Amino acid sequence: MRSGRLVIVAAMLGTAACVGAPEPLSEAEPPGPPSPPSWPPSDWAGDLRMPEARDENSDPRVVEIRLEARLARLNLEPGLVTEVWTYDGQVPGPLIRVRKGDRLIVHFTNRLPEETTIHWHGLRIPAAMDGVPGHSQAPVAPGSTFDYDFVVPDAGMYWYHPHHHSAAQLGDGLYGAIIVEDPSEPAGLGDELPLVLSDMNIDASGHLSSHHNGGDLATLFGREGYTLLVNGKVRPTLEARVGARQRWRIVNAARSRYFQLALEGHTFVRIGGDGGLIASPVESERLLVIPGERADVLVVPRGPAGGTLPVRWVPYDRGFGTAFLRPEEDLMRVRLSADPPVTPPPLPELPRTVKPLDLAGARPVEVEFTNDSTSGQFALGINGQPFGGEQHFHARVGETQIWTLSNDIDWDHPFHLHGFFFQVLDASGVPSLPLEWKDTVNVPVKKQVKVAVKYDDRPGMWMFHCHILDHADAGMMAMLLVSP
């Protein structure tokens, strides 16, 4: 059904240009052959199915939705009722599905007890739609509304979350996924399953632990919740058929936790990341997805029919005390159906060309994650400055810059730049392989990472920060002014 719809959409689109969108990052190639039917059954995603936002606009190129932020009492941890912060009364918020080049209009209402905004993580949209309070827009007061309205230029998996008191608001449930389909993508990659990973601290009576508990050390460590959530569910189960390839589209929406996944006896074949498909697949036994980051991976379930396989969360050492004596945990389960095994069709060529950025004349920019403890207290910042001061970074439309991200602190930092994709450079300064577009990259303890970014024609104030949101809220954020 899905591929049928895509074919119709592709026919309707013809060669229409996407008005108002930045220049495309890749050229798509013609669609491949259709995939064999009969699997999956409609309920294969079981507990993991996420409600989708309802498009109220009859124009096929416009997706127009309503979204409301409000408190809701949900049953997350079995047997307990927890009051959480939600979009439309659910965690995660509704899945927003659009096609590349569509216009997305979101009529947003804030029914929370405090101000908020929505940031569209990874989307190359105008600065005025980026959801950063005080720069893109005024914060949306309780009881007020704001209309987000932009063209979605790139295919891939993205997500949305508040940018006011981000650690607390996102940590308490305000996050949701956006899938931007590319009608020309080949069929047969796998049965698609969006997976939004997060965690929460729910106590024995069902209450969320306070936003601000734990003091300085907890801020430095980054607050992780004890309850792991996949699409808002605790240890959910997914139906699988032996040999039927699945395509997991993962976003790490946790406020601090790194998700490293393992599925015994299996490998993950990563075909995409933050900015859509990558140039060639990468196979690995473990899959690391850092806060804010996305991974598009193929998994071919194998094992005895009727068996159940745990997908494990495996501790990842992101600095002092973060992996020591921590056990692995079950994140979700894959139940193998009794259907006869199938042989997955060969993996189609990934229809993605990513050109290395031309780095001739690129301007170097130094960005250091800092902790100034001279006063006896800690003060997180960028280049020694906590967020909110005079410090601005600068760039011009059309310019290419090479950022050296340095980390001299005892914990890793997931660096995230709003509004623009970058390419990660290897040690010799050329884009690392396979080529891919990213908006979030890990900067390990006592290490440097170089990224190259070219600014397309979207001037304005853009933010960058550490996506351990406890770090961000404690000052590890800065603004970049892109001038025309």
Q: Tell me if 121 contacts ligand C2O by CB under 6 A.
A: yes
Distance, in Å, from the CA atom of 427 to the CA atom of 449, rounded to the nearest integer, reads 8
Of ligand C2O, Cu ion, none, which one sits near residue 352, judging by CB under 5 to 8 A according to partner kind? none
- Residue recorded with tokens 């607050």: 223
Total residues interacting with ligand C2O, rule: CB under 6 A:
10
Of 357-365, 367-375, 388-396, 462-470, which segment contacts ligand C2O by CB under 6 A?
462-470
84, 72 contact by CB (below 8 A)? yes
Q: Which does 468 bind (CB under 5 to 8 A by kind): Cu ion, ligand C2O, none?
A: Cu ion
Dist CA 253 CA 239 (whole Å): 24
d(CA 184, CA 13): 10
Q: Which one of the spans 18-26, 42-50, 319-327, 460-468 is the region binding ligand C2O (CB under 6 A)?
A: 460-468
Nearer to ligand C2O, 163 or 413 (CB): 163
The helix or strand, by DSSP H or E, that contains position 313, with its residue range, turns out to be strand 308-313
Binding-site member from 223, 418, 438, 454 for Cu ion (CB under 5 A)? 418
- DSSP class of residue 456 equals -
Q: Which stretch binds ligand C2O (CB under 6 A): 69-77, 254-262, 404-412, 459-467?
A: 459-467
Q: How far is the CB of 464 from ligand C2O (least distance, A)?
A: 8
- CA–CA dist 419, 335 (Å, integer): 39
Which positions from 440 through 479 interact with Cu ion, judged by CB under 5 A?
Answer: 466, 468, 471
Question: With CB under 5 A, what is the number of residues at the site for Cu ion?
Answer: 6
- CA nearest neighbour of 171 among 274, 286, 82: 82
Among 350, 465, 473, 482, binds ligand C2O (CB under 6 A): 465
Question: Of 418, 438, 454, 458, which lies in the binding site for ligand C2O, with binding defined by CB under 6 A?
Answer: 418
Burial letters 129-154, b for 16+ CB under 10 A, else e? bbbbbebbbebbeeeeebebbbbbbb
Residue 6 host element (H or E): helix 2-13
- d(C-alpha 392, C-alpha 335), whole Å: 51
Question: Using CA atoms, how far apart are residues 279 and 423, in angstroms rounded to an integer?
Answer: 12
Q: CB-wise, 160 or 221, nearer to ligand C2O? A: 160
Measure the CA–CA gap between 62 and 363, rounded to whole angstroms: 38
Q: Which residue is nearest to ligand C2O (CB)?
A: 121
For residues 352 and 418, which CB has a smaller minimum distance to Cu ion in the complex? 418
Structure token digits, residue 282: 């990468």
**Among residues 124, 294, 413, 450, the one that binds Cu ion under rule CB under 5 A:** 413
163 binds, among Cu ion, ligand C2O, none (CB under 5 to 8 A by kind): ligand C2O
Binding marks (x or -) toward Cu ion, 106..135, rule CB under 5 A?
Answer: ---------------x--------------
What single-letter amino acid sits at 22? P
Task: Decide whether 45 or 251 has the Cβ nearer to ligand C2O.
Answer: 251
Closest to 91 measured CA to CA, from 109, 114, 71, 110: 71
Residue 469 Cβ vs ligand C2O, minimum distance, rounded to whole Å: 8
Nearest to 102 by CA among 151, 57, 66, 58: 151
CB nearer ligand C2O, residue 431 or residue 475 = 475
Q: Which is nearer to ligand C2O, 176 or 186 (CB)?
A: 176
Residue 416 found at the interface with ligand C2O (CB under 6 A): yes
The distance of closest approach from Cβ of residue 122 to ligand C2O in the complex, given in angstroms and rounded to an integer, is 8
Task: Pick the closer one to Cu ion by CB: 121 or 438.
Answer: 121
- Given the complex with ligand C2O, which of 122 and 301 has the nearer CB atom? 122
Q: Binder to ligand C2O among 161, 164, 270, 471 (CB under 6 A)?
A: 161
Q: Does 119 bind ligand C2O (CB under 6 A)?
A: yes
Residue of 348, 340, 395, 344 lying closest to 367 (CA atoms): 395
Residue 466 binds which of ligand C2O, Cu ion, none (CB < 5-8 A, kind-dependent): Cu ion
Sorted by sequence, the CB contacts under 8 Å of residue 416 that are 6+ apart come out as 121, 292, 439, 440, 464, 465, 466, 467
Q: Coil, helix or strand for 156?
A: strand
Query: 128: which 2 tokens?
Result: 């005025």
Q: How far is the CB of 444 from Cu ion (least distance, A)?
A: 11
Q: Distance between CA 370 and CA 409 in Å, rounded?
A: 7
Q: By CB under 6 A, is residue 292 in contact with ligand C2O? A: yes
Binding site for ligand C2O (CB under 6 A): 119, 121, 161, 163, 292, 416, 418, 463, 465, 467
